[in-house]
Amino acid sequence: MKKTVVVFCVVLAAALSLVVLSGCATSATTAGEADDSYSKADLKTGGLLYDKWQKVRGIDTAGSHPLYPETGKKKGDTTFRCKECHGWDYIGKEGRYSKGSHYTGIKGLYDSRTKSPEALYSALTDTGARHDFSLYLADESDIWALVKFIRDGQIDIKSALGPDGKATGSVSRGKTLFNSNCSSCHGEDGNALDFKGKKNGVQGVGWLANDNPQETLHKIRWGHPGSSMPSAVVDRGLSDSETVDILTYASTL
């Protein structure tokens, strides 16, 4: 009798520890899968998707984004772009889009960079919040790429640009970097490619750097969707401050 109880207890203990172990194993796999998807996520793709994911993936959207405010001045395609609601400068209503035709009153994502990959992933796939981008970006690696961009790709705009809105880097370092990383396509004067083709002169790198330094810095760092332009951060391995140096020189062109 005693022996039976002991055997029973040993079996029970073994069964319990199996349950406990398998319970641990299951949750470890789930967390591990997220970790793995996150560690494989492509930062450059994230930066380009933030700019204009429809262009990167060849997707057409209908109407305006359900979260775009009715009082906002934009409509259609552009209202689906991350930058349209959260800003080129990543500080939304606190920054360049605090007023004017791009105003939405929506916050930026710079302060969200410290949130966990899982929390950011759910913010981007949460149907309840009408902010579910997996409706359009079917491949979940694109969502993870955006998560990686939010965590590792954003630059502190307040150190990149001074209170006067001018880039704070070094013109001379920027010149060397521009001539080795940009001029082969954009020309030494930055005007070999005309972005908008308006009649008042060529609108090249110098023009955009002055007109919209926040957008120009994002393009320098990640490239331009649908073009051959490299990412200075990923393809050229430049540091944050070197990308600001390029912007600083570009604004003298």
In the complex, what is the shortest distance from the CB of residue 184 to ligand HEC, in angstroms, rounded to a whole number?
5
In the complex, what is the shortest distance from the CB of residue 74 to ligand HEC, in angstroms, rounded to a whole number?
9
Per CB under 6 A, which region of 15-23, 75-83, 153-161, 162-170 contacts ligand HEC?
75-83
Distance between CA atoms of residues 62 and 77, nearest Å? 7
Of 34, 56, 106, 171, the residue at the interface with ligand HEC (CB under 6 A) is: 106
Of 41, 82, 155, 233, the residue at the interface with ligand HEC (CB under 6 A) is: 82
Residues 143-162 touching ligand HEC, rule: CB under 6 A, are 146, 150
Quote the Cα angle for 40-238-81, to 5°: 60
In the complex, what is the shortest distance from the CB of residue 201 to ligand HEC, in angstroms, rounded to a whole number?
15
Contact code string over 176-215 relative to ligand HEC, x by CB under 6 A: -----xx-xxx------x-x---------x--x-------
136 is a contact residue toward ligand HEC (CB under 6 A): no
Q: How many residues bind ligand HEC (CB under 6 A)?
A: 44
121 is a contact residue toward ligand HEC (CB under 6 A): no
In the complex, what is the shortest distance from the CB of residue 92 to ligand HEC, in angstroms, rounded to a whole number?
8
- 167 phi and psi angles, rounded to 5 deg: -65, 140
Of 245, 250, 251, 253, the residue at the interface with ligand HEC (CB under 6 A) is: 250
**Tokens encoding 228:** 């051959």
Residue with smaller CB distance to ligand HEC, 6 or 67: 67
In the complex, what is the shortest distance from the CB of residue 79 to ligand HEC, in angstroms, rounded to a whole number?
5
Distance between CA atoms of residues 91 and 110, nearest Å? 6
HEC string of the chain equals: CHHHHHHHHHHHHHHHHHHHHHHHHHHHHHHHHHHHHHHHCCHHHHHHHHHHHHHHHCCCCCCCCCCCCCCCCCCHHHHHCHHHHHCCCCCHHHCHHHCCCCCCCCCCCHHHHHCCHHHHHHHCCCCCCCCCHHHCCCCHHHHHHHHHHHHHHCCCHHHHECCCCCECCCHHHHHHHHHHHCHHHHCCCCCCCCCCCCCCCCCCHHHHHHHCHHHHHHHHHHCCCCCCCCCCCCCCCCCHHHHHHHHHHHCCC
Of 48, 220, 244, 253, the residue at the interface with ligand HEC (CB under 6 A) is: 220
Contact residues: ligand HEC, CB under 6 A: 50, 53, 65, 67-68, 79-82, 84-86, 106-107, 109, 112, 115, 120, 123-124, 131, 133, 146, 150, 181-182, 184-186, 193, 195, 205, 208, 216, 219-220, 224, 227-230, 232, 246, 250
